[in-house]
Chains A and B, each alone.
Chain A
């Protein structure tokens, strides 16, 4: 290929990539080599919308269903552990073996005191927030930090005529749109605010809290956030419960003011292309049992029936990072993720009320790895001049050429509108690519601008056995450049 056709090829590639910016989900099936989906048989004639999921140190799996049951899987045998709960959307196996569920009205500790296999004590651990019987007022969590505190997040309401709303979602008070903390002895305190539909909450192995929020009003595209005490995350209605604010003052506040106040997401999750309604982050702590992605973050999406990875970077001491699709083709809407002690990734699913690409209304699946080393992007780090992309296998140096890559960038408009299109979408010209001596890391140079999502496509890369990657697009949220 001479230089002119090469340049033409690159320019066509860029044009086609940019012109297809209308946000579309991938139309093909993708998965890394060596990974497969196993469908778990759920109890017969049970509405098994699995919205709470955790496993024990001895391998049992507990599932809370939206219908209100808690089921326990031991080997291949299901038993019902508890029932009658109010649409739980989270479950934690606590250190003492008791189960804590996030019902809409409360966190409840379930204890089987007589050891007959069924909970006989339903103890209120916390319930200091207000639930107003609105269908959208979910309680997500609980997760625990290293000090033993519990955390949860409270969804805003929808269609509640009494609620304070500046768009689609609203709050009738009682800490809707807040994250909260509960100490081991049950003391409740509001922790952070400005949340919308924070359906996924997780603690990292280091004890840091992260959460996902769903695209909608004041959330231009779905987000992955570091959750920190006393911070505002962008949806203004919960400010009405903060000192110094009135509903009228909030209504009158220009969007630019909220924009400056809000925390930036660690990663923006492109709508449709990666996720519409992300669930909880799960950290692969299996030390290699799940393949080469040890330590990384996996998140499911309820609408796209897929799983994507979050690749963390730390720039100037602050987290930012990227998202990349991992697998799709799940049977229903992926809302809960959990790694068990064998390093299998369990996925709790529901599609009720909010449709999912997978056609089934509910279910439980798991992702297993057969030991084959896949060829995929492993990580991405910002450099002063571009990015370093590390891969899971050695790369064929012949494929490391500028025309193996295309890059584009954009930003989103933060407002009360329901989501945002890509704004200021432009191609970015990569100026140089090179391969590390261990053949696993590609350095790509390009001009960098802060406050952009940078999408890098690498369809032309091949490993040394000629494999291309299963997923060829990574989306890096470039909040800031290296100082």
Chain B
């Protein structure tokens, strides 16, 4: 269900237009205050995430980070809506439960997570013919605002045209890219804060974005092939810097693609195993999710644990929708991923043999001539035990390289941790390694 009931007048007003209300100014400032944002996040995750999703992407409640704000996007309006609630839609009046300060912090957190466009306007220029690439004001035939803050490339009804979108982009706080999924694209130009931005590859369709809030103007000239909708109705995404994750869509088409690509696989009442391409995990990883909201990934080429994350298992949508080019995305927070090294020291490649699954998966492999079985126990939302069984005779002491990260503690009652390595005591036929959050 998406966005019903309207509060008039405010829909097309971007945050930058509503500074008349001093409360808006206050909340805007608060959204840059990390202490307030952290406090807001804690309360959000405790109270709001059940309906609006932990990542604010919406579930039974609306998406709280995109550009579509049915009940008004001014910070003061968001605060008022949280206080009053929407009883008929199942959202209580939180003003009666939490202090004004607490709810302001929640608004600050929501605003800090804002992504997508605001104050989005469009202009359509009629070009003389398919070779006309000069956009001038005298060719302007139509203009207006886009209340859903999504670039709509299907607006033009003329054969040769240029379409221009301008507005405020809320990009991620870290480095990101604007990327168009297209082949043989027509001429495109991107301006950020008034300056033209060059594509990183002249034949590609990828531009670097500034972190955070910025003013963008995007121009697209369509001279021919109007009948090829994939060429005129383009899909603009904001992605991670490595292009590995599409974070959100800026156009109507990419927005729809993102909705289609939301296919969550979660371990609700039993262990779930998924073998997919996963962003930030090496190829050949098999992921295992537990109802306790902890997940790990075993790799069949290295025979090591290569991933550990809290929360739900995966959004497999990017890997199973359309051609499935993109990696699945973990739904929680990483503790260990491919940036980390957590590996049994070995002389050669391992040989993966099989997985068994009669409730708790077990992986069987041979490393340096020794057969092992790896399974798990002591599962909790904070971590798990990796239980190794040595199925043949050990030839030398076992040493694990440990990840050098500040998120996990690794210990073993069957060995000794020394710096970034763990040495298993000699002659063990089985041993456990506990991996848990710090």
Binding site for B on A (CB under 8 A): 47, 66-68, 83-87, 103, 105-106, 114, 120-124, 127, 131-133, 135-136, 159, 352-354
Question: Shortest CB–CB separation between residue B180 and chain A, in angstroms?
Answer: 14
Asked whether B355 lies within 8 Å of A87 as measured between CB atoms, the reply is no
Q: Which of B209-217, B220-228, B275-283 contacts A (4 or more CB under 8 A)?
A: B275-283
What residue in chain A is nearest B286 (Cβ atoms)? A84
Asked whether B272 lies within 8 Å of A84 as measured between CB atoms, the reply is yes
Give the residue of A122, A159, A352 whose beta carbon is less than 8 angstroms from that of B355: A122
Is B354 positioned at the interface, with any CB of A under 8 Å from its CB? Answer: yes
Asked whether B321 lies within 8 Å of A352 as measured between CB atoms, the reply is yes
Chain B residues within 8 Å of A68, by CB: 274-276, 320
Asked whether B273 lies within 8 Å of A84 as measured between CB atoms, the reply is yes
What residue in chain A is nearest B353 (Cβ atoms)? A124
A-B contact pairs, 16 of them (CB 8 A): A66-B324, A83-B273, A84-B272, A84-B286, A86-B276, A86-B277, A87-B320, A105-B283, A105-B284, A114-B358, A121-B356, A127-B300, A127-B352, A135-B324, A136-B323, A352-B324
Interface residue tally of chain B, by bracket? 20 to 34
With A105-B300, A114-B358, A124-B353 in contact, do A86 and B323 touch (Cβ < 8 Å)? Answer: no
What residue in chain A is nearest B281 (Cβ atoms)? A133
What residue in chain A is nearest B278 (Cβ atoms)? A133
Question: Shortest CB–CB separation between residue B109 and chain A, in angstroms?
Answer: 34
Asked whether B277 lies within 8 Å of A133 as measured between CB atoms, the reply is yes
Q: Which of B267-314 contact A (CB under 8 A)?
A: 272-277, 283-284, 286, 300
Q: Which 10 A-B pairs have the closest CB atoms?
A: A353-B323, A84-B273, A123-B354, A86-B275, A135-B325, A133-B283, A122-B355, A133-B277, A84-B274, A120-B358
Asked whether A131 lies within 8 Å of B323 as measured between CB atoms, the reply is no
Chain B residues within 8 Å of A131, by CB: 283-284
Give the residue of B275, B354, B356 whose beta carbon is less than 8 angstroms from that of A84: B275
Is B40 positioned at the interface, with any CB of A under 8 Å from its CB? Answer: no
Apart from the given pairs A83-B272, A84-B273, A106-B300, 14 other A-B contacts in the complex at a CB distance below 8 Å: A68-B274, A68-B320, A83-B273, A84-B274, A87-B324, A105-B300, A122-B355, A122-B356, A123-B353, A123-B354, A124-B352, A131-B284, A352-B322, A352-B323
Chain B residues within 8 Å of A352, by CB: 321-324
Asked whether B275 lies within 8 Å of A67 as measured between CB atoms, the reply is no
Chain B residues within 8 Å of A67, by CB: 320
Chain A residues within 8 Å of B321, by CB: 352
Question: Shortest CB–CB separation between residue A348 and chain B, in angstroms?
Answer: 17
Is B327 positioned at the interface, with any CB of A under 8 Å from its CB? Answer: yes
Chain B residues within 8 Å of A123, by CB: 353-354
Asked whether A120 lies within 8 Å of B357 as measured between CB atoms, the reply is yes
Interface string of B352-378 (1 = CB under 8 A from A): 111111100000000000000000000
Taken together as a complex, chains A and B put the C-alpha atoms of A86 and B277 apart, in Å, by 8
Interface centre among A47, A86, A131, A159 (most CB of B within 10 A): A86
Taken together as a complex, chains A and B put the C-alpha atoms of A66 and B321 apart, in Å, by 10
Asked whether A120 lies within 8 Å of B352 as measured between CB atoms, the reply is no
Taken together as a complex, chains A and B put the C-alpha atoms of A133 and B357 apart, in Å, by 24
Asked whether A135 lies within 8 Å of B275 as measured between CB atoms, the reply is no
Q: Which of B314-348 contact A (CB under 8 A)?
A: 320-325, 327
With A85-B275, A352-B321, A353-B322 in contact, do A133 and B327 touch (Cβ < 8 Å)? Answer: yes
What residue in chain B is nearest A105 (Cβ atoms)? B284
Chain A residues within 8 Å of B357, by CB: 120, 122
Asked whether A66 lies within 8 Å of B327 as measured between CB atoms, the reply is no
Binding site for A on B (CB under 8 A): 272-277, 283-284, 286, 300, 320-325, 327, 352-358
Taken together as a complex, chains A and B put the C-alpha atoms of A292 and B276 apart, in Å, by 44
Taken together as a complex, chains A and B put the C-alpha atoms of A136 and B323 apart, in Å, by 8
Taken together as a complex, chains A and B put the C-alpha atoms of A232 and B334 apart, in Å, by 46
Interface centre among A84, A85, A120, A127 (most CB of B within 10 A): A84
What residue in chain B is nearest A352 (Cβ atoms)? B322
Taken together as a complex, chains A and B put the C-alpha atoms of A84 and B297 apart, in Å, by 13
Question: Shortest CB–CB separation between residue A247 and chain B, in angstroms?
Answer: 22
Question: Shortest CB–CB separation between residue B84 and chain A, in angstroms?
Answer: 36
What residue in chain A is nearest B352 (Cβ atoms)? A124
What residue in chain A is nearest B276 (Cβ atoms)? A86
Taken together as a complex, chains A and B put the C-alpha atoms of A85 and B274 apart, in Å, by 6
Taken together as a complex, chains A and B put the C-alpha atoms of A353 and B319 apart, in Å, by 11
Give the residue of A47, A86, A122 whose beta carbon is less than 8 angstroms from that of B354: A122
Question: Shortest CB–CB separation between residue B120 and chain A, in angstroms?
Answer: 30
Give the residue of A120, A135, A159 whose beta carbon is less than 8 angstroms from that of B356: A120
Chain B residues within 8 Å of A84, by CB: 272-275, 286
Taken together as a complex, chains A and B put the C-alpha atoms of A394 and B155 apart, in Å, by 60
What residue in chain B is nearest A159 (Cβ atoms)? B325
Chain B residues within 8 Å of A135, by CB: 277, 323-325
Chain A residues within 8 Å of B274, by CB: 68, 84
Taken together as a complex, chains A and B put the C-alpha atoms of A427 and B388 apart, in Å, by 72
Asked whether A103 lies within 8 Å of B300 as measured between CB atoms, the reply is no
Give the residue of B275, B352, B354 whose beta carbon is less than 8 angstroms from that of A103: B275
Question: Shortest CB–CB separation between residue B257 and chain A, in angstroms?
Answer: 12
Taken together as a complex, chains A and B put the C-alpha atoms of A167 and B326 apart, in Å, by 22
Taken together as a complex, chains A and B put the C-alpha atoms of A135 and B323 apart, in Å, by 7
Chain A residues within 8 Å of B327, by CB: 133
Question: Shortest CB–CB separation between residue A191 and chain B, in angstroms?
Answer: 22
What residue in chain A is nearest B323 (Cβ atoms)? A353
Question: Shortest CB–CB separation between residue B342 and chain A, in angstroms?
Answer: 20
Give the residue of B272, B286, B320 whose beta carbon is less than 8 angstroms from that of A66: B320
Taken together as a complex, chains A and B put the C-alpha atoms of A127 and B352 apart, in Å, by 9
Question: Shortest CB–CB separation between residue A237 and chain B, in angstroms?
Answer: 20
Asked whether A354 lies within 8 Å of B323 as measured between CB atoms, the reply is yes
Taken together as a complex, chains A and B put the C-alpha atoms of A428 and B417 apart, in Å, by 82
Chain B residues within 8 Å of A133, by CB: 277, 283, 327
Question: Shortest CB–CB separation between residue B267 and chain A, in angstroms?
Answer: 11
Chain A residues within 8 Å of B284, by CB: 105, 131
Taken together as a complex, chains A and B put the C-alpha atoms of A54 and B354 apart, in Å, by 23
Chain A residues within 8 Å of B358, by CB: 114, 120
With A84-B275, A114-B358 in contact, do A47 and B353 touch (Cβ < 8 Å)? Answer: no
Taken together as a complex, chains A and B put the C-alpha atoms of A417 and B251 apart, in Å, by 33
Asked whether B300 lies within 8 Å of A124 as measured between CB atoms, the reply is yes
Question: Shortest CB–CB separation between residue A388 and chain B, in angstroms?
Answer: 44
Chain B residues within 8 Å of A86, by CB: 275-277
Chain A residues within 8 Å of B272, by CB: 83-84
What residue in chain A is nearest B282 (Cβ atoms)? A133
Taken together as a complex, chains A and B put the C-alpha atoms of A121 and B357 apart, in Å, by 6
Chain A residues within 8 Å of B354, by CB: 121-124
Taken together as a complex, chains A and B put the C-alpha atoms of A375 and B283 apart, in Å, by 52
Taken together as a complex, chains A and B put the C-alpha atoms of A68 and B316 apart, in Å, by 11
What residue in chain B is nearest A353 (Cβ atoms)? B323
Chain B residues within 8 Å of A85, by CB: 275
What residue in chain B is nearest A86 (Cβ atoms)? B275
Taken together as a complex, chains A and B put the C-alpha atoms of A121 and B373 apart, in Å, by 13
Chain B residues within 8 Å of A136, by CB: 323
Question: Shortest CB–CB separation between residue A68 and chain B, in angstroms?
Answer: 7
Question: Shortest CB–CB separation between residue B241 and chain A, in angstroms?
Answer: 16
Give the residue of A103, A132, A353, A354 whose beta carbon is less than 8 angstroms from that of B283: A132
Taken together as a complex, chains A and B put the C-alpha atoms of A127 and B299 apart, in Å, by 13
Chain B residues within 8 Å of A121, by CB: 354-356
Taken together as a complex, chains A and B put the C-alpha atoms of A223 and B283 apart, in Å, by 31
What residue in chain A is nearest B321 (Cβ atoms)? A352
Asked whether A47 lies within 8 Å of B300 as measured between CB atoms, the reply is no
Taken together as a complex, chains A and B put the C-alpha atoms of A67 and B324 apart, in Å, by 10
